[in-house]
Structure 1
């Protein structure tokens, strides 16, 4: 029998007390907002909040503290991924002055949606952390996996320091009086989920085919450092490169393809119609497919909901704001969902919530115990992705893996992002869930115990605390699955 949304719910007064909301002048009345919308908070949400709080993300070190030359060099208002290659990153670390403790509580936006064996949501938890909510705060959600209790703001690189993590540009209109206020992290390469979703919508509509050749011909050189130059490949190949090893040029081509089919505005409207109000692919350049900037927004909750639809579930998954049922089949065809999932399962960069590419070392910590796709594993067991060598034999960890993780990672200097679908391998229990984490703790921030990266090896991109978060929540989800 399917578990209801309110199964195991806790009293809202208890949630507020546990959630570490600000006090005094910064206090917010989450309880009244939740009660007015019949939103709830679950034990899963509180476990997620407590785990994030326990890991003390504020202990990271900043390699480009405010006021330093390194900090100024990293501010890129557009084409934010353009100067973020591993080689440039390694040089920047080597040239950096002694790192300093981060100046304020990090920004974080995390969601877990627990799924039953058919992929239907049965419980969820969303947690925000910021200088306003130093211990983390649980976001109450309703039966449609929705909330109006948060005033979502657009990311501002300089404003995170200047305004203590509180943005100035609203993402969703009419939320000025919401009890919670959060500046959404720039999603980095997780934005490619929106791009590829839009392309598959065109495939389902018969506008294009996966095996059609698209001649990418940028009519401007303004984004060449991000997007590269002209190319001619099939849509299928662009999508594979975009999702499995996060190719920026392939993704620019897909964005330009969407522009050429006048599909950007309809895609953004589709997100609104589905109740995914923070998913906005805005500000990109029709001439190149580039210009990826802070106007592109995603919350962890809406990203997790999108992945729930891509994963597939029978019947109504939730009800849209217009009162219509939202179904997986109504969003993408079964064939398109299968293709999408197959590419996410072949993710090459397993180095944030999961750390399979770093198997067997003392650093980073083990994350979600997932497999590494065989396509990236060489004869010696080490992983090489798009020329980037990880240098660890991953076969022992693959042999012990408990789950598959169909996911997409992303990073720039002030973004860390990972979003995916976890499913137990045969005989390894029944857990099945979506997990999404966005944070400002990108490559600029490191652990105090981080070892030097050997020459020729891909540098670890994030604090290992994300891997510890992934492992802790996976262990909890496995226990939940055993009980149910």
Structure 2
């Protein structure tokens, strides 16, 4: 039997039946994602483009979190998106020991305009969705329908959904794979790795040499693509990619796939990479730490947080907690701005705050230099958010672990959101601020609304 809000494994507490799935569906419907504007409206010529990946996938499909400034002509020519976007969101509620107690997953698409709740079983697993690999051309021209299955054997699933490309949130998969190599003793975080690509890549850049620790830090906190390419190449060098993908299968996270990357440079981040919001949230639950069995995988395996050592999990959480790009579900970087809307009330890492009280990410004076002091929002913060964002032309994502600050209303949950509303799409009420907000503020409103719900429940 499949349920929207479910009991968890037998060793955990009774389930919370507060209706997080219903609240999430209601919230997503009210946000009206279908009202955003498209700066590149599809034309008949789009049907002639490649049906497998985006044109120039290194630039358009690959993850990046710094948004290029849209040209005035493109903004002026923007029209309402021609169909309901694909959005995939999960809220996974945790008890005091980190164990999942209830969940809500909702997807929208041209087929599911008002959002449909994804049913899950007692292990927070679903077979009710036929997930398809992302394809922007098919989304533009074929009513949002994909044609390549992510997980085999789902042909008769009641929900048919093309998973949005994860953009830079894919770096969670890379980080997990690297830390598994650390736990096996294959590498250490303080090893020096000479990244020497044997094939040029506009995504990855030139040869570099640094420690694994420093590559990891830049991959997670500032979403540096060159560092990510280095670590993906390291995984390929160690023959670890297939094992990583098999691990995801073995622990019941079948939609998490890091496939078809280029061993020569660690690039080629195209549609072979997939993440669903539900499986991403469950992966983060393991990173966060679960007492005892988190769930039982379809193969009968009892899944625990031992998939990573305690030290690796603590390192991963520290890096996620120092995320620099707080601009999707949370928008504390934009404290003091009238646009975008305030997201969840997150306290951000001190490392990005300068002597003048403003945030600068990655020492970037164009994309990462914010104008106003953030201390008012730091003082009003109620939660920490250990997360990873992603942004490309046709994707925006954010996924992380939310915990209450001392003395604040208690909440402990994971939220993961993926959509095709990348920097190609803008809000009708968009304001030209610096750094440019080339992503919809609707996800900030989503983050704030669901956090308020969790605080009250």
TM range, smaller chain: over 0.9
Displacement of 1:75 after TM fit?
A: 3.9
- Report the secondary structure of 2:320's partner residue: helix
Displacement of 1:381 after TM fit?
A: 1.0
Displacement of 1:459 after TM fit?
A: 1.2
Tell me: CA distance 1:324–1:91, structure 2 relative to 1, closer, same or farther (3 Å): closer
Which residue, 401, 408, 418 being the options, matches 1:438?
Answer: 418
**Superposed, which structure 2 residues align to 1:106-145 within 5 Å?**
106-145=85-124
- Report the secondary structure of 2:371's partner residue: strand
Which residue, 13, 18, 29 being the options, matches 1:3?
Answer: 13
Displacement of 1:348 after TM fit?
A: 0.3
In 2: Cα distance, 1:449 partner to 1:271 partner:
41
TM-score of the two chains, using structure 2 as the length reference:
0.93
Tell me: CA distance 1:257–1:81, structure 2 relative to 1, closer, same or farther (3 Å): farther
Displacement of 1:67 after TM fit?
A: 2.0
For each residue in 1:130-186, what CA deviation from the matched residue of structure 2 results, as whole angstroms up to 9, or x when unmatched?
A: 000000000010111100000000001100021111100001000000000000000
Which residue, 279, 290, 314 being the options, matches 1:338?
Answer: 314
Match of 1:217 in 2: 196
In 2: Cα distance, 1:364 partner to 1:112 partner:
22
- Report the secondary structure of 2:220's partner residue: helix
Residue pair 1:130, 1:136 contacting (<8 A) in 2 also? yes
In 1: Cα distance, 2:236 partner to 2:116 partner:
38
Tell me: CA distance 1:189–1:84, structure 2 relative to 1, closer, same or farther (3 Å): closer
Match of 1:265 in 2: 242
Residue pair 2:421, 2:439 contacting (<8 A) in 1 also? yes
Match of 1:194 in 2: 173
Tell me: CA distance 1:265–1:86, structure 2 relative to 1, closer, same or farther (3 Å): closer
**Superposed, which structure 2 residues align to 1:318-467 within 5 Å?**
318-329=295-306, 331-386=307-362, 387=364, 388-453=368-433, 457-467=434-444
In 2: Cα distance, 1:192 partner to 1:98 partner:
33
Residue pair 1:351, 1:461 contacting (<8 A) in 2 also? no
Residue pair 1:149, 1:180 contacting (<8 A) in 2 also? yes
Tell me: CA distance 1:81–1:108, structure 2 relative to 1, closer, same or farther (3 Å): same
In 2: Cα distance, 1:469 partner to 1:344 partner:
20
For each residue in 1:404-462, what CA deviation from the matched residue of structure 2 results, as whole angstroms up to 9, or x when unmatched?
A: 00000001111010000000001112200000000111111111111112xxx321131
Displacement of 1:260 after TM fit?
A: 0.3
Match of 1:278 in 2: 255
Match of 1:238 in 2: 215
Match of 1:27 in 2: none
In 2: Cα distance, 1:296 partner to 1:86 partner:
17
For each residue in 1:311-340, what CA deviation from the matched residue of structure 2 results, as whole angstroms up to 9, or x when unmatched?
A: 0011000001221210002x0000000000
Residue pair 2:61, 2:394 contacting (<8 A) in 1 also? no
For each residue in 1:165-211, what CA deviation from the matched residue of structure 2 results, as whole angstroms up to 9, or x when unmatched?
A: 11000010000000000000000000000001000000000000000
Residue pair 1:64, 1:70 contacting (<8 A) in 2 also? no
Match of 2:145 in 1: 166
Displacement of 1:361 after TM fit?
A: 1.8
Match of 2:20 in 1: 44
Tell me: CA distance 1:88–1:428, structure 2 relative to 1, closer, same or farther (3 Å): closer
- Report the secondary structure of 1:89's partner residue: coil
Match of 2:8 in 1: none
Does residue 455 of structure 2 align to residue 478 of structure 1?
Answer: yes
In 1: Cα distance, 2:356 partner to 2:45 partner:
41
Tell me: CA distance 1:254–1:129, structure 2 relative to 1, closer, same or farther (3 Å): same
In 2: Cα distance, 1:360 partner to 1:392 partner:
6
Match of 2:3 in 1: none
Unaligned ranges ≥5, structure 2: 1-10
TM-score of the two chains, using structure 1 as the length reference:
0.88
Further displaced range: 347-356 or 382-391: 382-391
In 1: Cα distance, 2:228 partner to 2:12 partner:
39
Match of 1:300 in 2: 277
Match of 1:24 in 2: none
Unaligned ranges ≥5, structure 1: 9-41
- Report the secondary structure of 1:429's partner residue: coil
Residue pair 1:367, 1:467 contacting (<8 A) in 2 also? yes
- Alignment RMSD: 2.1
Does residue 253 of structure 2 align to residue 253 of structure 1?
Answer: no
Tell me: CA distance 1:141–1:172, structure 2 relative to 1, closer, same or farther (3 Å): same
Residue pair 2:61, 2:269 contacting (<8 A) in 1 also? no
Structure number with higher relative contact order (C-alpha < 8 Å, ≥ 6 residues apart) = 2
Tell me: CA distance 1:311–1:136, structure 2 relative to 1, closer, same or farther (3 Å): same
Tell me: CA distance 1:189–1:122, structure 2 relative to 1, closer, same or farther (3 Å): same
